[in-house]
Structure 1
Amino acid sequence: MKHLRKLNNFNSYLSILSGLDSAPLRRLDWQRNTAEALEEYSSLIDSSSSFRAYRAALAEVEPPCIPYLGLILQDLTFVHLGNPDTVMTSQGSKVNFSKRWQQFNILDTLRSYQQVPYSLQPDDDITSFFNDFSDHLAEEALWELSLRLRPRNTPRANQR
């Protein structure tokens, strides 16, 4: 996650964080330093105050950048649903250019992050590690494994 943050790859950063914060994993015992690191990583993507910390970090990055797509889609949806397509004027119904301008600004910001390409070289070890995600576990299998590692009603070894 540190490397993803350095690369300004917020979308993958959040994907890993979401996976680690899933219920089957969250219930397991973590070493104190790991639990503290996860809390620190989570602070960047804290959803309170409309993702204030994330938006501040995003405003400071230099491209290239891969922003969190979910928040972009949320912002576009908010603008779309929260503003009418047309406004009534003395001349009748007109296009709501304010709404279109807000949508343009969101998409233009996204476009600006794509103006500079990443200069990364493929790494076969990393590629093979992900293995096309063919060995992923479904939610039910994750719960079974989690319960094998720490059965229900077993006290936590390390409290967060």
Structure 2
Amino acid sequence: ISGLQSAPIYRLRDTWDLLPSKTWDIWDELNELMSNEQNFANYRTALNEATDSKLPSVPYIGIFLTDLVFVEDGNLDFKPDTTLINVKKLRFASSVLFRLEKCKPTKYRLAPVWSLQGYIVSRDIYSEEEQRELSMQLQGLG
């Protein structure tokens, strides 16, 4: 989603207008799933359901990293006025890591599609400036 929301892509209104309504429905579903409202509650629920059901899933690592930063920054290492380790902080961190560990797949039953892999690897990688220039060529200002 974030790639499609990048400025060089997002500004291509003429191209977006060509998308069929079914594609827009999928886009809306994905945006709702990844909404940052209530700390990504929709995504967290869907990921928990997928991992509890042992369904293949590729987690968005950014949420786990944000959770770990929150645990680190929001909790003292030691209990106030003591040298005792704040075990509660360690439990918070371990629960984040445990949720991530649940995403580890069993075995995917996917066969490589070599032609698709070759196509992807052979594509040019553009800098942000090149992306902006290409976007401007496809659809000027306005």
Q: Provide TM-score, normalisation by structure 2.
A: 0.85
Of residues 117, 122, 132 in structure 2, which corresponds to 1:127?
Answer: 117
After superposition, the Cα gap between the structure-2 partners of 1:115 and 1:19, relative to the gap in structure 1 and judged at 3 Å, is closer
Between the two proteins, the alignment pairs up a number of residues equal to 134
State the shift of 1:55 in Å. 0.8
Which runs of 5 or more residues in structure 2 are unaligned?
none
Residue of structure 2 equivalent to 1:79: 71
Which residues in structure 2 correspond to 1:48-59 (within 5 Å)? 48-59=37-48
Tell me the amino acid that sits aligned with residue 80 of structure 1: E
Whether 1:93 and 2:83 are equivalent positions in the alignment is: yes
Q: Deviations over 1:4-63 (max 9, x none)?
A: xxxxxxxxxxxxx11111111111121252444323321111112101110111111033
Residue of structure 2 equivalent to 1:5: none
Structure with the largest fraction of strand = 1
Which runs of 5 or more residues in structure 1 are unaligned?
1-16, 154-160
Whether 1:40 and 2:29 are equivalent positions in the alignment is: yes
Residue of structure 2 equivalent to 1:8: none
State the shift of 1:105 in Å. 0.8
Q: Which runs of 4+ in 1 moved over 4 A?
A: none
State the shift of 1:123 in Å. 1.1
- SS of the residue corresponding to residue 49 of structure 1 reads coil
**Separation in structure 2 between the aligned mates of residue 58 and residue 127 of structure 1, nearest angstrom:** 27
Residue of structure 2 equivalent to 1:158: none
After superposition, the Cα gap between the structure-2 partners of 1:36 and 1:151, relative to the gap in structure 1 and judged at 3 Å, is farther
Q: Deviations over 1:65-115 (max 9, x none)?
A: 2211011000000001000011037xx321111110011111112112215
Q: Provide TM-score, normalisation by structure 1.
A: 0.76
**Separation in structure 2 between the aligned mates of residue 147 and residue 23 of structure 1, nearest angstrom:** 11
Of residues 102, 126, 140 in structure 1, which corresponds to 2:92?
Answer: 102
For the aligned residue pairs, the C-alpha RMSD in angstroms reads 1.8
- SS of the residue corresponding to residue 84 of structure 2 reads strand
